[in-house]
Amino acid sequence: DNLDGMVERGYAGQSIWDWWRLPDYKGPRYTDYARANASIGINGTVLNNVNAKATSLTAPYIAKAAALADVFRPYGIKVYLSVKWTAPMELDGLKTADPLDSQVAAWWKAKADEIYRAIPDFGGFLVKANSEGQPGPQDYDRTHADGANMLAAAVKPHGGIVMWRAFVYAHDNPDDRAKQAYDDFKPLDGKFADNVIVQVKNGAIDFQPREPFHPLFGAMPKTPLMMEFQITKEYLGQSTHLTYLGPLFEETLDADTYARGKGSTVAKVIDGTLDGHKLTGIAGVANIGVDRDWSGSIFNQADWYAFGRLAWNPDLSAEAIAREWAAMTFTPDPKLVKPVVAMMMGSREAAVDYMTPLGLAHVMGTGHHYGPAPWISDLARPEWNPVYYHKADATGIGFDRTKSGSNAIAQYAPPVAKMLADPKTTPEKELLWFHHLPWDYRLKSGETLWDGLVHHYDRGVAYVADMQKTWESLRPLVDPERFAQTKAFLKIQHREAKWWRGASIAYFQSIAKRPLPTGSDAPAHDLDWYKAQDFPYAPGNP
């Protein structure tokens, strides 16, 4: 959340933090927020955006954070703050933010002491550094460990921790973006202080509808790693698409890193059992705002709920969680629960089908990430362009991350790397993430890659149409207000799924030069029409 009330990548209205009226007025919704989180085991909240403003560390804003901490404390919830690396320079005129400079270290120690005087149970700092233009220790030829450890020393006397994000990629690094976090952090394994935990996104790019698990999981046995999931759906239809994220969370947590042999799941990495770590964590980029339903839609609440449930029991199934949520949210009547859970369980896969099938990724409109734009190729940095990720050309489609390409597969444990080296043994759902393949490559179904791609788009649209029919059949079992909202949002989702399908097929067909398979309709518009769509005021865009 930003200090002006805007929520970056938020799709549920403005921030619930009323910074202007804090600390004097603490609205009742803060207590409601604490109760909701405590009910599913969430025990901490970072109050501000990782793209932080130094102002968050000034005395007036520390007092505002302290007021929120007072509300949350009875519910077992600690407050954390994101910090801007150059805060000592911006707030007090220091000449440098070099983490090895004694004046810089002294500034952060004094600032930590000030915060803990106001908030005795303050949790610590979250840091985004040297990523997407944010400053950091690398600006001074220092490492991420140098930066994290300096902050860790400042909060350690008070029992605080530092959560240091591994979401990094540099404009001057020509290597595969998917490799850069591993390349930066793997050499630092064992060099972080014992109150630092490295926060790693579920995949190596950025919260895509589907990504393989991040190669850092299992690769840093001497360093505690925490998971970063996105509960808000920046790339998955934002607030109006019914795309239940429980299966995405479950898929990632169950993924086997093979770091210590078979059974070395991502869940065991982050809960500390694989490598014996006591400092553990899991983070969710929240979808909370001032909307009456908190999360932009009724069904988006299920993602918040699933995150909390899996945080404490990663062995739970997404389906069991969906049943719990549906029964508590609507009615325990099986006539509703069974079809609603069935809708939810296939909804994320449907979004993958109509957006990014067979391992495609990051083909969304740039900036706001709303809607399809696989044709964009003219932005300043290569990795900002969708064409960078799909690499479609006359010969085929996909990003070659094998030895003949970027060799990103080498960042995984040998059994995983061996599986991913061959398209025949690569899971088909991740095929084009790791391989550039001919349009006529034969899938396991026997159909060509081109035909299979089109059929995935078709299947995704059809699933949304089926959800509309299912929901309509449940009208007698749902109150009119929530029924009407969900019906309206499913209508939007169906329209946008068809838009995704049409735009993607129109673009890729212009490159593949192949006819549509029998039974698949042509896109509703020509490619120029799809390219002309413009959304200057899409929500959640910083």
CA 525 to each of CA 254, 428, 454: distance values in angstroms, whole numbers, following the listed order: 41, 30, 16
Rounded Cα gap, residues 525 and 224, in angstroms: 50
Rounded Cα gap, residues 288 and 353, in angstroms: 27
Catalytic residue among 32, 92, 132, 440: 132
- Residue in 453, 161, 182, 104 with CA at minimum distance from that of residue 281: 161
Torsional sign, CA 342, 346, 347, 350: negative
Instruction: Give the strand pairing for 78-83 and 282-285.
Output: unpaired
264 Cβ partners below 8 Å, 6+ apart? Answer: 218, 256, 257, 258, 274, 413
Contact by Cβ (8 Å): 307, 264: no
Torsional sign, CA 382, 384, 385, 390: positive
Q: Is 283 helix (H, G, I), strand (E, B) or coil?
A: strand
Contact by Cβ (8 Å): 57, 81: yes
End-to-end CA distance of the chain: 11
Contact by Cβ (8 Å): 459, 387: no
Verify whether residue 206 is a known catalytic residue: yes
Rounded Cα gap, residues 109 and 106, in angstroms: 5
**463-469: Cβ within 8 A, 24+ apart:** 463/346, 463/347, 463/349, 463/350, 463/353, 464/350, 464/354, 464/490, 464/493, 464/494, 464/497, 465/494, 467/242, 467/343, 467/347, 467/350, 467/493, 468/494
Catalytic residue among 1, 206, 451, 496: 206
Q: Where are the beta strands (DSSP E) in 357-510?
A: 396-397, 437-438
Rounded Cα gap, residues 366 and 405, in angstroms: 25
CA 413 to each of CA 178, 187, 270, 330, 364: distance values in angstroms, whole numbers, following the listed order: 16, 16, 17, 44, 30
Verify whether residue 256 is a known catalytic residue: no
Longest dimension (CA), the chain: 70
Instruction: Give the distance from CA 276 to its chain's centroid.
Output: 26
Three-state SS annotation for 228-241: EEECCCCCCCCCCC
- Residue in 84, 7, 168 with CA at minimum distance from that of residue 542: 7
Verify whether residue 132 is a known catalytic residue: yes
Residue corresponding to tokens 């990795």: 383
Rounded Cα gap, residues 308 and 283, in angstroms: 10
Extract the tokens encoding 120.
Answer: 């005795």
Catalytic residue among 98, 146, 211, 234: 234
Known catalytic residues are: 132, 206, 234
